[in-house]
Amino acid sequence: MRAMASVTIAATYGAGGSVVAPTVAQRLGLHLIERVIPVSLAQRLAQTREVVLAEDERREGPQVTRILTRAISTSGLFVGVPLHHTEIGLDERVAATEQALRRVADAEGAVILGRAGVFVLAGRKDTLHVRLDGPREARLRQAIRHEGIDEATAAGQQAETDRARAAYVRHFHPGLRWEDPAHYHLWLDSTVISLDACVDLVVGAARDLFG
């Protein structure tokens, strides 16, 4: 596969994105860029009134922006692809992050989990866009099984995480729907197809697309 190929992976809670993405990156020999809103941060965000207000686009404002951009500064920009602190900025964290993603895609390519990568790298012929999803209850059962947590904990994490990630996309990419299948080349129900098979399908699709 040529150097500039990239794969974006959007995944709802319990769909196995944190399992599939690293393995795909390893198989394709690409950098892995992790989520900007991990489960732990989504739980903290869910405790704030502003994230709840983000459900109503008409009421979004500077408070929501501050909380969502905090995700970038507290979770780190890349895993394995560091960006110098002077390039991150203070008020332009999202723009700087997206610029950094494009630079990596232009250079050596990457597997990008979350971070609205499907929109940041939209329209590029050198990028495969993948969605991992499944019915809510099936994703809940998969999370319980893989994470070794009880149902109540998993249900809370699912609601908080899916809401926070959707709010991030909606806030910084208004008018675009994270769940619209038109944005993706490959949409997999990873609660029916095993995660190992999902990896094989994504890797195969990437190699096919990039020759």
The pTM of this model reads 0.77
The predicted pLDDT at position 170 comes to: 76
Q: Among candidates 19, 205, 189, which has minimal Cα distance to 127?
A: 205
Residue 188, pLDDT above cutoff 60 = yes
Residue 159, pLDDT above cutoff 90 = no
The predicted pLDDT at position 60 comes to: 47
Residue 99 confidence class, pLDDT cut points 50, 70, 90: confident
The predicted pLDDT at position 83 comes to: 43
Q: Is residue 27 assigned to a domain?
A: yes
Q: CA angle, 24 as apex, 19 and 29 as ends, to 5°?
A: 135
Higher pLDDT, 205 or 157: 205
Q: Is residue 64 assigned to a domain?
A: yes
Q: CA angle, 71 as apex, 11 and 24 as ends, to 5°?
A: 35
Q: Among candidates 4, 71, 11, 67, which has minimal Cα distance to 37?
A: 71
Q: Is residue 1 assigned to a domain?
A: no
User: What angle do helix axes 136-147 and 151-172 make, rounded to 10 degrees?
Assistant: 120
* Average of per-residue pLDDT values in the chain: 78
The predicted pLDDT at position 98 comes to: 79
What is the domain range of residue 128?
Answer: 6-210
Which amino acid appears at position 172 of this protein? F
Q: Is residue 171 assigned to a domain?
A: yes
CATH number for the domain spanning 149: value is 3.40.50.300
The predicted pLDDT at position 51 comes to: 45
User: For the residues 94-112, what does the mean pLDDT come to?
Assistant: 83
The predicted pLDDT at position 147 comes to: 84
How many structural domains is the chain composed of?
1
Q: Is residue 92 assigned to a domain?
A: yes
Q: Is residue 170 assigned to a domain?
A: yes
Q: Is residue 88 assigned to a domain?
A: yes
Residue 155, pLDDT above cutoff 50 = yes
The predicted pLDDT at position 42 comes to: 63
Q: Considering just the CA atoms, what is the radius of gyration of the chain in Å? A: 16
Give me the percent of the chain exceeding a pLDDT of 70: 70
Joined tokens for residue 103: 């630079």
Q: Is residue 192 assigned to a domain?
A: yes
